[in-house]
């Protein structure tokens, strides 16, 4: 029997999975398309979870990539609250959590990741929350009343975004970061210091270089005990300390896995009938000449489209410059490129004005930039980084010279 | 349900029913309009939903704020009637809105 009559199946109903399905339809794929997702919802956008959705300023429906009637209209079947337990590559079938099996012609792994949790004593108590899903945010929001105390573990994007929203809602917020500064893995000390001041000015009790010894309390955590003996009283805890890629299914199926599901520049795994996209992949990045595993919506969507091209038989090389953003208070942080290995650093503008940019150079070329409430600088930096432009640091720092003029004619 | 027309760089056009409360970007992505990606989900951070808004609607819209204007400066082929469609709320008042999608916007 020809397997071509079977659907293309996408495991994972996150943004990579959704974008793969949508791109396949845009390309003109006529056959059946099935997305299998373990959450209760149709695919939705995750970036607003720690921002507008936590703040309560947008409704759940507005998070959906597409409402169900539209998905149906475009022939994208979504199985919700369903897990894939096993991939049988030889038989090209999937074992589902309801006991049924699902045959596939081709498969896309868009399994994403799950929030990393702490192994600290007491971290398994019910008022300790990760923030990765709509369900997580709904649980957190139930605690968000003025005067309540929140302890946020982790001074990365998620932790700081939650702190900004929570303090604005009138909560007493403490942020605990183990490293000596916030955003330590993604930016320079100058930018970290700027964000630390912004949070402290807003009323957040931000502590860096701290160790968490235990979460104390009987049924629920009531105190967080630090390494120096300090005890912080709290009503609940949000943990934002990174993500673990969901690679177990791929690994059990015998696919190559090494800090993510290993794919080539066409999003192909070590099985010709299986592609992978999004947070779960370890993929080659031509721009930086090395392999990356990225946790970003840009990567989820762009790699999803690349995977769709491969599934459709029109492979397109996946070549991108990563970018990221974070909204905290009235500040917009936009970052382009990866600054790892920079040998020169230039500040443009004065952080005291709450609008400035940081540029990272390697061998005289612009490799990355962080813009704080400077959208125009971010957009130009995106082009300069993509071009690997050789730029004069003095001109970068000189605000009287428009950044645009540094673009090659 | 206000109708919005999207015109592709090649001239093909598609009219969709939008819902008040959505943004023009969401009306587009919900109908799989090519060239409007909305990668950042509508937070004015990526400029992948850039459009040119036809008159008379362009002049009727609330003008772009500083953040949007900054993003537009570096968007794909910006023009005098450029807007980010995620920043245009759908209301009954924009019935018939027509926007053009820039060439070269994935």
- Per residue in A238-283, pLDDT (tens digit) is 999 999 999 999 999 999 999 999 999 999 999 999 999 999 999 9
The set of residues, in sequence order, having a beta carbon less than 8 Å from that of A105 and lying 6+ positions away, is: A3, A4, A5, A6, A7, A8, A31, A92, A273
Residue-wise pLDDT tens digits, B49-77: 999 999 999 999 999 999 999 999 989 89
For chain B, say whether A402 makes contact (Cβ under 8 Å): no
Q: Could you give the CA distance from residue B22 to residue B88 in angstroms, rounded to a whole number?
A: 9
Contact yes or no for A70 and B74 at CB 8 A: no
Q: Could you give the CA distance from residue B4 to residue B95 in angstroms, rounded to a whole number?
A: 7
What is the biggest distance separating any 2 CA atoms in chain B, rounded to whole angstroms? 33
Contact yes or no for B71 and A323 at CB 8 A: no
pLDDT of A3 reads 46
Which 3 state secondary structure label does DSSP give A18? helix
Q: Could you give the CA distance from residue B91 to residue B87 in angstroms, rounded to a whole number?
A: 12
Confidence band, pLDDT 50/70/90 cuts, at residue B104: confident
Region A85-90 average pLDDT: 98
Residue A355 has pLDDT above 90, yes or no: yes
Residue B6's φ and ψ, nearest 5 degrees, are -110, 125
On average, the pLDDT of chain A sits at 96
Tokens at residue A283, please? 């993929």
Residue A33 has pLDDT above 60, yes or no: yes
Residue A4 has pLDDT above 90, yes or no: no
For helices B66-73 and A375-386, angle between their N-to-C axes, nearest 10 degrees: 20
Q: Shortest CA distance to A122 belongs to which of A210, A238, A218, A207?
A: A218
Residue-wise pLDDT tens digits, B1-40: 899 999 999 999 999 999 999 999 999 999 999 999 999 9
Contact yes or no for B46 and A325 at CB 8 A: yes
Confidence band, pLDDT 50/70/90 cuts, at residue A47: very high
For chain B, say whether A55 makes contact (Cβ under 8 Å): no
* Total residue count of chain A as it appears in this document: 409
Region A164-192 average pLDDT: 97
Q: Which of A26, A376, A382 lies nearest to residue B70, judging by beta carbons?
A: A376
Q: Shortest CA distance to A117 belongs to which of A243, A294, A219?
A: A243
B85: β partners: none
pLDDT of B35 reads 94
Q: Which of B42, B74, B106 lies nearest to residue A379, judging by beta carbons?
A: B74
Confidence band, pLDDT 50/70/90 cuts, at residue A317: very high
pLDDT of A210 reads 98
CA of residue A213 relative to chain centroid, distance:
28
Partners of A48 on chain B (C-beta within 8 Å) are 41-43
- Give the count of alpha carbons within 13 A of A103, CB side only: 9
Region A106-113 average pLDDT: 98
Give CB contacts under 8 A, 24+ apart, made by A313-317: A314/A27, A315/A266, A315/A268, A316/A266, A317/A265, A317/A266, A317/A286
Q: What percent of chain A has pLDDT over 70?
A: 99
* Total residue count of chain B as it appears in this document: 106
The set of residues, in sequence order, having a beta carbon less than 8 Å from that of A74 and lying 6+ positions away, is: A22, A25, A66, B32
Residue B105 has pLDDT above 80, yes or no: no
Region A6-30 average pLDDT: 98
pLDDT of B106 reads 62
Tokens 């912080």 map to which residue? A232
The set of residues, in sequence order, having a beta carbon less than 8 Å from that of A59 and lying 6+ positions away, is: none
Give the best residue of A299, A301, A317 to mutate against chain B (max B CB count within 10 A).
Answer: A301
0.90 exceeded by the pTM?
A: yes
Q: Is A382 left (phi over 0), alpha (psi -120 to 50) or beta?
A: alpha
What is the biggest distance separating any 2 CA atoms in chain A, rounded to whole angstroms? 69
Strand order in the sheet with A223-226: A212-216, A223-226, A231-233
Confidence band, pLDDT 50/70/90 cuts, at residue A111: very high
- Give the count of alpha carbons within 13 A of B32, CB side only: 19
pLDDT of A1 reads 41
Contact yes or no for B71 and A25 at CB 8 A: no
Partners of A383 on chain B (C-beta within 8 Å) are 74
């Amino acid at each position: 029997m020809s397997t071509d009559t079977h659907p293309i199946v996408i495991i994972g109903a996150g943004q990579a999975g959704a974008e793969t399905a949508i791109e396949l339809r845009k390309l003109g794929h006529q056959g059946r398309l099935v997305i299998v997702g373990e959450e209760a919802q149709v695919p939705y956008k995750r970036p607003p979870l720690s921002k507008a959705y936590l703040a309560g300023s947008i409704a759940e429906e507005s998070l959906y990539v597409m409402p169900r009637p539209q998905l149906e209209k475009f022939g994208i079947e979504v199985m919700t609250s369903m897990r894939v337990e096993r991939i049988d590559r030889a038989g090209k079938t999937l074992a589902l959590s309801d006991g049924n099996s699902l045959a596939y012609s081709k498969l896309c792994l868009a399994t994403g990741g799950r929030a990393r949790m702490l192994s600290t004593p007491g971290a398994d108590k019910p008022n300790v929350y990760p923030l990765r899903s709509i369900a997580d945010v709904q649980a957190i929001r139930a605690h968000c009343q003025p005067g309540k105390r929140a302890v946020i573990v982790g001074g990365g994007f998620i932790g700081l975004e939650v702190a900004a929203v929570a303090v604005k809602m009138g909560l007493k917020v403490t942020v605990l970061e183990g490293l000596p500064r916030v955003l330590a893995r993604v930016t320079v000390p100058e930018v970290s210091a700027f964000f630390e001041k912004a949070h402290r000015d807003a009323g957040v009790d931000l502590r860096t270089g701290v160790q968490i010894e235990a979460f104390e309390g009987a049924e629920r955590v009531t105190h967080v005990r630090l390494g120096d003996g300090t005890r912080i009283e709290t009503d609940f805890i949000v943990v934002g300390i990174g993500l673990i890629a969901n690679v177990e299914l791929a690994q059990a199926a015998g696919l190559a896995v090494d800090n993510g599901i290993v794919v080539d520049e066409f999003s192909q795994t070590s099985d010709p009938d299986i592609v992978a996209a999004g947070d779960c992949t370890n993929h080659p990045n031509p721009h930086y000449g090395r392999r990356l595993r990225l946790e970003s919506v840009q990567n989820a969507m762009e790699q999803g489209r690349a995977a769709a091209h491969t599934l459709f038989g029109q492979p397109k090389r996946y070549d991108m410059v990563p970018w990221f953003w974070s909204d905290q208070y009235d500040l917009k942080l936009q970052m382009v490129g990866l600054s790892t290995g920079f040998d020169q650093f230039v500040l443009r503008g004065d952080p005291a004005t709450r609008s400035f940019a940081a540029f990272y150079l390697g061998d005289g070329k612009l490799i990355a930039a962080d813009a704080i409430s400077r959208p125009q600088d971010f957009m130009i930096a995106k082009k300069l980084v993509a071009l690997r432009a050789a730029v004069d640091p003095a001109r970068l720092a000189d605000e009287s010279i428009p950044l645009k003029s540094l673009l090659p004619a | 349900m206000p109708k919005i027309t999207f015109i592709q760089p090649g001239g093909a056009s598609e009219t969709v029913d939008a819902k008040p409360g959505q943004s023009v970007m969401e009306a587009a992505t919900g109908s799989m309009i090519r060239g409007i990606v909305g990668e950042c989900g509508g937070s004015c951070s990526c400029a992948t939903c850039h459009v040119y808004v036809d008159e008379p609607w362009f002049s009727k819209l609330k003008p772009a704020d500083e953040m949007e204007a900054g993003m537009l400066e570096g968007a794909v082929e910006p023009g005098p009637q450029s807007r980010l469609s995620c920043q245009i709320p759908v209301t009954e008042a924009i019935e018939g809105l027509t926007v053009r999608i820039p060439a070269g916007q994935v």
